Structure 1
Amino acid sequence: MNWMMVAVGGAAGSLLRYALGLTLNVPSWPYGTWLANVLGSFLIGFFFVWGKEKAGISPELYILLTTGMMGGFTTFSTFSLEVVTMTMQGNVLKAILYATGSVIVGLLAAYAGVLAGRQVL
Structure 2
Amino acid sequence: MINFVLVGGGAALGACARYHLGELGKRYLSVNFPIVTLFLNISGSFILAYLFGHNLATPLYLFLGTGILGGYTTFSTFNSEMVLLWQQHRYQTMLLYCGSSYLCGLLAAIAGLWLATIK
Give TM-score, length-normalised by structure 2. 0.56
Alignment partners' CA distance in 1, 2:38 and 2:24: 12
Structure 1 residue ranges (4+ consecutive) displaced by more than 3 angstroms after TM superposition? none
Counterpart position of 1:67: 66
Q: Report if the CA contact (8 A) 2:13-2:68 is conserved.
A: yes
Deviation string 1:70-95 (CA, Å, 9 cap, x unpaired) is 1101145xxxxxxxxxxxxxxxxxxx
Q: Residues 37 and 28 of structure 1: is their aligned pair in 2 closer, same or farther, counting only changes over 3 Å? A: same
Q: Residues 110 and 28 of structure 1: is their aligned pair in 2 closer, same or farther, counting only changes over 3 Å? A: closer
Deviation string 1:44-68 (CA, Å, 9 cap, x unpaired) is 1011002x0xxxx321111001110
Q: Report if the CA contact (8 A) 1:44-1:70 is conserved.
A: yes
- Pair member with larger Rg: 1
Q: Match for 2:50: what amino acid?
A: F
Identity %: 33
Q: Give the number of equivalent residue pairs.
A: 78
Question: Pairwise CA RMSD of aligned residues?
Answer: 2.5
Q: Residues 47 and 8 of structure 1: is their aligned pair in 2 closer, same or farther, counting only changes over 3 Å? A: same
- Structure 2: 5+ residue stretches without partners: 88-119
Give TM-score, length-normalised by structure 1. 0.55
Alignment partners' CA distance in 2, 1:69 and 1:36: 12
Counterpart position of 1:41: 45
Q: Residues 61 and 73 of structure 1: is their aligned pair in 2 closer, same or farther, counting only changes over 3 Å? A: same
Q: CA deviation at 1:27?
A: 5.7
Higher relative contact order (CA closer than 8 Å, sequence separation 6+) = 2
